[in-house]
Structures are given as structure tokens and as C-alpha cells.
Amino acid sequence: MSGYMMVKHSHMTLAVLSLLFFILRAGWAISGSGLLTRPFVRIAPHVIDTLLVACGLYLVFFIGMQPFVVAKLIGLVLYIVLGTMAIKRAPTARQRAVYAVLAVLTFAYIMGAAIRHSPWSWFSATLGT
């Protein structure tokens, strides 16, 4: 497997880990679980997300800053803002749940943009470009 493909697969694995970790933490934030304050739970998502972006930037170096990459970066900023609302900032469990759902929908948009190579994400008519 080429270096590019290895980094791409690492990037995809990290993306899935990021989502699973987010869903777990959002669940704990909604239920008010103390597990959320554990050092591992606080640090691991930052490590995963930093590696995810680092791998993404490595891939961009080869394929160039295409429109779907710009869409992913904007989506990523939105995902982080909505995720922070869901886990830290929203005051009630109900509001946290709403932000968590919006964050997961944003993540689904980013996945679609990545797989379809289009800012139209899952709504793009063609698979890849």
C-alpha cells in the first residue's frame, strides 16, 4: 500500500473514532455522568482530532485544495462549535441533545463531502470526480 493510501486509511479510521468518541461523550454530557471529567476522556479526543486534521493536511498536500476540502474544513469548524455546545456549554440536557444531533448531522455532511468529493456532499449526483 502506498504512503498516501496508508495515511488516507488512518484518516478514515480516525474520523470513525472521532465520531464514536463524540457520541459517547455527548451521551455522558446529557446524562450528567462524572466519566466526562476523567483525564483520558478529556485528552483523547484532542489527540484523535489533531491526528485526523494532520492526516487530512498531508492528503491535501498531494491532491490540492479542492472545493470539497474547503467544505470539509468549514464543516469541521461547525462540528467543533456544535460539539462544544453539546458537551460543555449548553445548560440543559435537552439543549445538549439537540446540539449533539446537529453535530452528528454536520459530521455526516463532512463524510458525504469526503466520499463524493463534492461540497454538495450526499446530494452530489456523481460518486467522486
Q: Is 57 in the site for ligand HEM (CB under 6 A)?
A: yes
Query: How far is it between the farthest Cα atoms of the chain?
Result: 48
Q: Is 23 in the site for ligand HEM (CB under 6 A)?
A: no
Q: Is 82 in the site for ligand HEM (CB under 6 A)?
A: no
Q: What contacts 84, CB < 8 A, 6 or more positions away?
A: none
Please, which residue, 67 or 93, has the CB nearer to ligand HEM? 67
Residue nearest to ligand HEM (CB): 56
Tell me if residue 64 falls in helix, strand or coil: coil
Q: How many residues bind ligand HEM (CB under 6 A)?
A: 22
The C-alpha atoms of residue 70 and residue 44 are separated, in whole angstroms, by 26
Question: What DSSP element (H or E) covers 128?
Answer: none
The site for ligand HEM (CB under 6 A) is made up of 8, 11-12, 15, 18, 52-53, 56-57, 59-60, 63, 69, 72-73, 76, 79, 107, 110-111, 114-115
